[in-house]
A = this chain, B = another copy of it.
Amino acid sequence: MAEHIVSSYDNDLQGLRQRISEMGGIAEKMLVDSIVALVRHDKTLAQVVVTSDKRLDVLQREVEENAILTIARRQPLAVDLRETISAIRISGDVERIGDMAKNIGKRALAIGDDFQPQKIVVGLQHMGDLVLGQLKDVLDAYAQKDTAKALDVWKRDGAIDALYTSLFRELLTYMMEDPRNISFCTHLLFCAKNIERIGDHTTNIAETVHYLVTGETLAIDRPKNDRSIDATVASGA
């Protein structure tokens, strides 16, 4: 009988992990597609990104509800309880990553065929690649319960923040050079911010993986390199 209970609990956990894995795959695809849609002015693809978000929302609610039913039914302790708590937290972060990608998709739909400076496009793509790498790695770290890999993701977020700050400065400069750039540069500013926030969510997931494996909360402050708030540009440009 005890064995039966254990195995039902394992089945529950398996179901949670499968859903999170499906969510991760959707979020990765949404991130890639949103940036492609943005830089190639591909409105069809942008629309696909916006639509995909619904599935993520459904899966996130399922993870949350099933995790809580599992806790209520099986009364897990210690590491097993951490498994279910972590599933709730990670699905929340992945769902928000989908929201960010959806926002980029919506802006891709709005921007239309406005000219985009090559330097900005390259910068956005580079940020997107870095964040995608973080997302893939942290989802692997979760699947493999690899806290070293999770810590590595956590430490690398600073590079994304630094890139965001430099892109932010670049966009301000374009806006100052020519007022006709302001409208679409504002869209790109928010897109860059969305990518940067996806990076923040990957570090949240890294923290959760660390908690899942060790039972401890990462106490030290996360390395932040986002200096965009302090970014000042010579105003007379």
Residues of B within 8 A of A84 (CB): 68
B81/A72 in contact, CB under 8 A: yes
Q: Given the complex of chains A and B, what is the CA–CA distance between A107 and B231 in angstroms?
A: 11
Residues of B within 8 A of A73 (CB): 75
Counting chain A residues whose Cβ lies within 8 A of the other chain, the interface size class is 35 or more
A235/B183 in contact, CB under 8 A: yes
Q: Given the complex of chains A and B, what is the CA–CA distance between A73 and B230 in angstroms?
A: 48
Q: Given the complex of chains A and B, what is the CA–CA distance between A231 and B84 in angstroms?
A: 43
Least CB distance from A168 to B in Å reads 8
- Within 101-118 of A, Cβ neighbours of B (below 8 Å) are at 106-107, 109-110
Least CB distance from A113 to B in Å reads 13
Q: A76 contacts the other chain (Cβ, under 8 Å)?
A: yes
Q: Which of B76, B110, B175, B229 contacts A182 (CB 8 A)?
A: B175
A182/B176 in contact, CB under 8 A: yes
User: What is the total number of copies of this protein in its complex?
Assistant: 2
Least CB distance from A102 to B in Å reads 11
Known contacts A71-B71, A75-B75, A85-B64; is-contact A172 B183 (Cβ 8 Å): yes
Chain A, residues 74-88, CB within 8 Å of chain B (1/0): the string is 011100010011001
Residue of B nearest to A179 (CB): B176
26 residue pairs of the A-B complex, CB under 8 angstroms, read: A64-B85, A68-B81, A68-B84, A68-B85, A72-B72, A72-B77, A72-B81, A73-B75, A92-B92, A109-B229, A110-B230, A172-B183, A172-B186, A175-B182, A175-B186, A176-B179, A176-B182, A177-B179, A179-B179, A179-B235, A180-B236, A182-B233, A182-B235, A183-B232, A183-B235, A186-B186
